[in-house]
Structure 1
Amino acid sequence: MLFRQIADQRLGQYSYLIGCPTSGEAAVVDPQRDVDRYLAVAEAAGLRITAVAETHVHEDFLAGTRELAARTGARVFLSGEGGRDHGWRDGETTPTLLSDGESFAVGGLDFRALHTPGPTAEHLCFLVRQRTGLDSEGIGVLCGDLLTVGEVGRPMLLPPVGAAASAEAMRLLYRSLWRILELPEYLQLWPAHRPPRLPAAAVTTSTIGYERRNSYPIRLASLGSDVFVATVLEQRPEPLPPYYARLKELNRDGPALLGPLKRPPAATVATLRRLLRGHDALVLDTRSDRSRFLRGHLSGSLYAPLDRRFSTVAASLILPDTPLFLIVEEHDVEDAVRALVRVGLDRVVGYATPAVVAAYAAGGGRLARLPSIGFSQAEKLHQRHDDVQLVDVRRRDEHRKGCLEGALHVPYAQLLPLADELERDRRLVVYSATGARAAVAAAWLARLGYRVAQVEDDLARHLGGATSAAGEAPRRRPVSAFPQPAVELPRAQLASA
């Protein structure tokens, strides 16, 4: 058997190409949309992709199942469980919908579907076996979102969802966990995701035996369903980003075919001027040095550094079908385009390098600036001016551990649906742990016309070091409501404040 795990380190997602060298056939499970990667791996191994399968309807990226089927003629296998409403639009690809216990074959390999609801209602795991020989009892389990290394999955419940639905989904997940954990302990586990806090270079596969002995959530599950469900629900995982609902619907219906990836045209200073005059596209600045972005960027630019958060930042803050113009280094153009199409942002109409932007500015072109301040100044502004609002754009678990007093909590991934609630007569001071996410949020709000400033400072150091006159740490109370949204501070106003 030939086995290849193909990773997207930004989204923490794993696809798999599993082949039978004897027959020259291969299956791809949970592919992303830029399928040339799988075609290249198969070609290098001398294999033909004859089957494509999904463990469930994905919500955090656009699946490449339909794309691979169109490019290779491969058979498609999807879940027929959980009341899935399957409705691909092309009218040509007819998927086989698998029920629990049904299988499909690829050469001498057998992929048996095991219905494991919990992450989603239709979720499947696939037990991979040799059809004959020593490995006929099983080699490994493609476990989708049910298990990751050292962790268990969570129900992907799109809002609105109540406590009863969450608890019921966790009970389903608990039962599905034990269905897999009671298989032979030598079986390998091949998850579809890396745990959110696990480094990219960490171990990416495991075994049932190892997880039973070493995974805290699984040891917790051994105490019984009630303890497991109550403990996990207490952790209150982050709300799903709003774009998940859109991607899930597209994956259910069948994403539009992408075709071969095309490199967008490069801009000169002259074409950059024309673009800015015509407002023909949204400028997405991917520079890693945010201080350079804050000091000077094309007016109206969004900021999303080409780092591990790039895909989720872009999907959270940019509407689909928006024409995009990238500010990106020449050697990073393909990487940026791939990351965008994986989350359904296909319309990249051009790009300019930072050097071209610098030449544009040197020739008299106007660059915008975002004011940047420290936490001490941010708190003074908030205390002295009624129209200044502090906004914390960190995750919920970070916010609960401590925040600036009076700060409103709006995770940056939730900014898009909350935009219409923001009051435009207030000035907004946006902060995060160190300033990275605050720069992203501040640029997005400035584009919408808010008066905004970004805090470039270390929050942990500020909260740990600040003391009152009495020698006590100041009270910093989370504000979970969002009664008076935010706005933006130009440099001149900060200077006079």
Structure 2
Amino acid sequence: MTCVAPRRTSRMFLRQIYDDALAQAAYLIGCQQTGEALVIDPERDIDRYYRLAADNGLTITAVAETHIHADFVSGAQEFAADPAVTLYLSSLGGDDWSYTWPGPDTRVHYLKDKESFFIGKIEIQAIHSPGHTPEHLSYAIIDHGGGADEPVAVVTGDFVFVGDVGRPDLLESAAGVAGAMEPSARTLRASLAQRLVPLPDFVQVLPGHGAGSACGKALGAIPSSTIGYERRFNGVLKLAETDAEGFVREILSGQPEPPLYFKRMKHVNRDGIRVTGGVPSCSHLSPRQFADLAGHAGVQVVDTRADRSAFETAHVSGSLCAPLSGSSLVNSAGSFLTENDSLLLVVDDQSVLDQVTRQLYRIGFDDFAGWATFSELEQAGLAISQLQSTDFDRFSPAEHSAGARLLDVRNRSEYDEGHITGAVNVSYTRLRERIDELPSDARYYVYCASGRRAALASSFLRARGYDVVLVNGSAEAYFQTDVA
């Protein structure tokens, strides 16, 4: 009688946890044979990872980062307070980009290239993949419990995305490291050739971001890919294999201007931020309490109503338009607020408060002075303003009033492809640092590609005393005949 060996069945658990507002992906990887689990690239509000692990019979025992992030506060510092968790961080950042926040009592292991650690019977192998950042690691996942001796997947962080690769310019454009851009692009190309291409075609690519992230310019909207698919159809990866100079030009051109908060994120993720033990509470305020606080220095009213047209119609004087819609809240807050601002929140209703505070907390804002609904404030007679607006169906750039200026708040690459003659370009994500370039004695007609970004920028300028008119809709019709 022939005996057939029992088939070995994988007991690996893998789940992507996706943040739509930041287009950011974390990964929970668990060994169901031992009940241990790892989180890679968690955001700051870590309670949801604990819940997901517990719901699947797992205990988080390890946390790893692919790199020092620029677009959100890492949850590693919050996880470090848990005595059951060991952190795995890169040791390869050199003098400038090595972690400084872990103390002598932090349970942390600094990984070298090709070094492995285990989560139960799952091997996690670090692959040094610099270019996006010097210290960047990718993680090959090998399911020994399922009988594998090759990776089933590689968590690529900001090294490789679906249809794109990580941008190598952020050390310079966001963190202010002069001269880093072109050398980083060449390092990225070498990493692609030496670290990605040799992996087997069947290996899944689990990226750190999807479409909408400012960490790339052409990210795909599907959650994962494979090495083989990217090798065949990722245009920038193919360019890296055939044309070194063309790759450098392509990867450095047309990247969107990052929000100003990116620089702060790089530093707090390297050097540390206040550990809060969760998203701080935000108290409901009466209209009188709200009005009293709104007059204090360092307090900023943030209007998060999802419908930005409601803000145009009526809003608390001096407030910032930051709708809880897509990425608008995080991009507005990250571009226009400062780290020391205490936030008064205007919300549609209490049911969205948790979403609002979590999104703000994930990008480093944790001083919540209180909240109220707009209807409560309006009924109590608070000072209410309107945002003057028009649209391109009713507005001709050639006919705007004498002395007025056109302000184009799209990305520079969009502006270069076509714009209205005479328009000044300042991307809305950089407006706070460049506001001194805009004389305050002129009227500004503010436009973008739809009105969304222009609304955020207009609210910021209006709160600082500028005379602004928001122009809704697309100006593209004027590009055809009136391009500078």
Could you state the TM-score of these two structures normalised by the residue count of structure 2? 0.90
Name the residue aligned to 1:313: 332
Displacement of 1:225 in angstroms is: 2.5
Match in the other structure for 2:279: 261
Among candidates 237, 256, 267, match of residue 249 of structure 1? 267
Could you report, residue by residue, the CA deviation over 1:197-218 in whole angstroms, capped at 9, with x for unpaired residues? 8999942011111111222222
CA-based RMSD of the aligned residues comes to 2.2
Aligned partners of 1:57 and 1:35: how far apart in 2? 17
User: Which deviates more from structure 2 when the two are superposed, residues 253-262 or residues 432-441?
Assistant: 253-262
- Which of 143, 146, 149 is the matching residue for 2:162? 149
In the superposition, relative to structure 1, how do residues 222 and 408 fare at CA in structure 2: closer, same or farther (>3 Å)?
same
Partner of 1:93: 106
Look up the match of 2:143.
Answer: 130
Aligned equivalent of 1:374: 391
1:213-272 superposed Cα distances (whole Å, 9 cap, x missing partner): 222222222324333223333x33123332211110000012221212244111233333
Q: Distance in 2 between matches of 1:87 and 1:439?
A: 39
Change in Cα spacing, 1:427 to 1:195, as seen in structure 2 (3 Å) is same
SS at match of 1:71: coil
Q: Which residues in structure 2 correspond to 1:69-88 (within 5 Å)?
A: 69-71=80-82, 73-83=84-94, 84-88=97-101
Taking the aligned partners of 2:222 and 2:307, their CA distance within structure 1 comes to: 30
Where does residue 192 of structure 1 map in the other structure? 208
The alpha-carbon deviation at position 132 of structure 1 amounts to: 5.5
Q: Distance in 2 between matches of 1:52 and 1:206?
A: 23
Q: 1:52 to 1:161 in 2, by over 3 A?
A: closer
**Larger deviation, residues 105-114 vs 263-272:** 263-272
AA aligned opposite 1:385: A
SS at structure 1 position matched to 2:81: helix
Identity of aligned residues (%): 38
Aligned residue identity for 1:17: L
Following TM superposition, by how much is the alpha carbon of 1:134 offset from its aligned partner in structure 2, in angstroms?
2.5
1:340 matched residue in structure 2: 360
2:158 partner amino acid: D
The question of whether the paired residues in 2 share the 8 Å contact of 1:393 and 1:412 is answered with yes
In structure 2, how many angstroms separate the alpha carbons of the residues matched to 1:39 and 1:200? 29
Residue correspondence of structure 1 range 338-417 to structure 2 within 5 A? 338-360=358-380, 364-375=381-392, 377=395, 379-380=397-398, 382=400, 384-386=401-403, 388-417=404-433
Mapped partners of 1:351, 1:395: distance in 2: 32
Aligned to 1:420: 436
Number of aligned residue pairs: 461
Q: After superposition, where does 1:457-468 map in structure 2 within 5 Å?
A: 457-464=473-480
| In structure 2, distance between residues paired with 1:262 and 1:17 | 24
Q: Is the 8 A contact 1:321 1:346 kept in 2?
A: no
CA distance in 2, matches of 1:169, 1:6: 29
1:437 Cα deviation from its structure 2 partner: 1.2
1:113 to 108, 122, 126: 126
- Shift of the alpha carbon at 1:328? 0.8
Q: Which amino acid aligns with 2:190?
A: R
Q: Is residue 164 of structure 2 the alignment partner of residue 183 of structure 1?
A: no
Kindly report which structure 2 residues correspond to 1:215-234, keeping only aligned pairs within 5 A, or say none: 215-233=234-252
Question: Does the residue aligned with 2:315 lie in a helix, a strand or coil?
Answer: coil
Q: Which residue of 1 aligns with 2:256?
A: 238
Correspondence 1:164-183 to 2 at 5 A: 165-178=180-193, 179-183=195-199
The answer (yes or no) to whether the contact 2:298–2:340 under 8 Å persists in 1 is no
1:123-143 per-residue CA deviation (whole Å, 9 max, x = no partner) reads 011111124652121111111
Distance (Å, rounded) in 2 between the aligned partners of 1:284 and 1:441: 13
Q: 1: distance between equivalents of 2:296 and 2:163?
A: 51
Aligned to 1:483: none
On the 8 A contact 1:151/1:195 being kept in 2, the answer is no
| Structure 1, 22-31 or 393-402: larger mean CA deviation | 393-402
Distance (Å, rounded) in 2 between the aligned partners of 1:132 and 1:305 = 46
Kept after mapping to 1: 8 A contact 2:302/2:321: yes
1:477-492 mapped onto 2 (5 Å cutoff): 477=484
Q: CA deviation at 1:153?
A: 1.3
Q: Which consecutive unaligned segments of at least 5 residues does structure 2 have? A: 1-11
Whole-angstrom CA distance in 1 between matches of 2:478 and 2:246: 38
Contact 1:26 1:51 in 2 (8 A): yes
Which residue number in structure 2 is paired with residue 12 of structure 1? Answer: 23
Q: 2:299 aligns with which of 265, 277, 281?
A: 281
Contact 1:378 1:429 in 2 (8 A): no
Distance in 2, matches of 1:256 and 1:199, equals 34
For residue 301 of structure 1, the aligned residue among 319, 336, 352 is: 319
Separation in 2, partners of 1:301, 1:165? 37
> Which has the higher mean CA deviation after the structures are superposed, 223-232 or 290-299?
223-232
Whether 1:54 aligns to 2:87 is: no
TM-score with structure 1 length normalisation?
A: 0.87
CA distance in 1, matches of 2:460, 2:303: 11
Q: Assess if the C-alpha contact under 8 Å between 2:290 and 2:370 holds in 1.
A: no
Distance 1:205 1:176 in 2: 20
Does structure 1 conserve the Cα–Cα contact (< 8 Å) formed by 2:98 and 2:135? no
> Partners in 1 of 2:274 and 2:298 — Cα distance?
23
Taking the aligned partners of 1:173 and 1:253, their CA distance within structure 2 comes to 25
Q: Which amino acid aligns with 2:90?
A: S
Does the aligned pair in 2 maintain the 1:49–1:72 contact within 8 Å? Answer: no
Structure 2 distance, partners of 1:377, 1:452, is: 14
